[in-house]
Amino acid sequence: MAAVDIRDNLLGISWVDSSWIPILNNGSVLDYFSERSNPFYDRTCNNEVVKMQRMTLDHLNQMVGVEYILLHAQEPILFIIRKQQRQSPTQVIPLADYYIIAGVIYQAPDLGSVINSRVVMFLSRKLTAVHGIQSAFEEAMSYCRYHPSKGYWWHFKDQEEREKAKPKAKKKEEPSSIFQRQRVDALLLDLRQKFPPRFVQQKPGEKPVPVDQIKKEPEPVPEAVKPEEKETAKNAQQSTGTKGPPEKRTRLQ
């Protein structure tokens, strides 16, 4: 790829000679523009040939090639000079325009350069806006929290500092109701019946022992009742059953 010459893009530079500023007018502006230190001036133009041969600028119409003309003047502030390619006395092709404001020479941008600059500026602003929005989303996501039992909520740093500064109030523990206790006991009993424990800890601090290894204590055998005791108990019941009500005694007045 060929290297780009700085002379091919002169839109970013300017040139001025302060000694010419007080004497700038319609007759001297082209001489000011043709200074050797001016980077916008082409030494191979027809103006340089006419200047070397000491001819007037009217001879430019009879020549063919690059030339500079004064296109517009508003003394003493604004002058516009055009660079053009002359092909015949009546046919020219504009190449570039230069404007002089208060003695400072600038190159006027062409339409392609203006559109390119606007597109680049628009894209840069768009990228800056996208970057700002993306940074805002990333910062917002850093404050987002989630828990299965609570859901989503925002957790900000300043909020955490305010919570730390506030005195912590003691939460009152509300006693459970009878319904809650009975319901929980019923659920625990149901779970115990469905899933019986495989290990049992007989005493606190001891290692749990499998249920199969625990020796079951023999149930106490009910004592046998002697037949003599059965008869005495039966007679006592009969005697109490046949005994009549107590006799009524007359009350002495």
Confidence bin at 125 (pLDDT 50/70/90):
confident
- Residue 160, both tokens: 């955490």
How much is the mean pLDDT over the chain?
A: 79
**What does the pLDDT average to over 171-184?**
72
Whether the pLDDT of residue 5 is over 50: the answer is no
- What value does the mean pLDDT take over residues 44-53? 89
Q: What mean pLDDT is predicted for residues 21-38?
A: 91
SS3 of 82, please?
strand
Quote the pLDDT of residue 6: 45
The CA distance from 45 to 38, in Å, is 14
| Whole-angstrom distance, CA of residue 28 vs CA of residue 41 | 15
**H/E stretch holding 199:** strand 199-200
Q: Is the pLDDT of residue 180 over 80?
A: no
Instruction: Give 95: exposed, middle or buried? Use CB within 10 Å, 0-12, 13-18, 19+.
Output: middle
Q: Picking from 42-56, 78-92, 191-205, 236-250, which range would have the lowest pLDDT averaged per residue?
A: 236-250
Cβ neighbors of 29 (< 8 A, separation 6 or more) are 70, 73, 79, 81, 100
pLDDT at 1 over 50: no
Q: Which residue has the higher pLDDT, 125 or 222?
A: 125
With cut-offs at 50, 70 and 90, classify the pLDDT of residue 144.
confident
CB within 8 Å of 198: residues ≥ 6 apart: 210, 211
The confidence band for 220, taking pLDDT boundaries of 50, 70 and 90, is: low
- Length of the chain, in residues: 253
The answer to which of 39-43, 182-186, 231-235 has the lowest mean pLDDT is 231-235
Q: List CB contacts of 199: < 8 A, sequence separation 6 or more.
A: 208, 209, 210, 211
Give the per-residue pLDDT at 251: 55
Number of Cβ within a 10 Å radius of residue 68: 24
pLDDT digits 0-9 by tens, 57-94: 888 888 999 999 999 999 888 999 999 999 998 899 99
Percent of the chain, pLDDT > 70? 73
Q: How many CB atoms lie within 10 A of CB 40?
A: 19
Rg (CA), the chain: 57
Q: How far is CA 183 from the centre of its chain?
A: 48
Higher pLDDT, 165 or 79: 79
Is the bond preceding residue 76 a cis peptide, omega within 30 degrees?
Answer: yes
**Cα–Cα distance for residue pair 162/32, rounded to 1 Å:** 71
Query: What is the model's pLDDT at position 29?
Result: 93
Distance CA 14, CA 201 (A): 95
Contacts 24+ apart (CB under 8 A), 145-150: none
What is the pLDDT averaged over residues 160-179?
68
Express each pLDDT in 106-120 by its tens digit.
Answer: 999 888 888 888 888
Checking if the pLDDT of 211 tops 90, the result is no
Amino acid at the residue 50: V
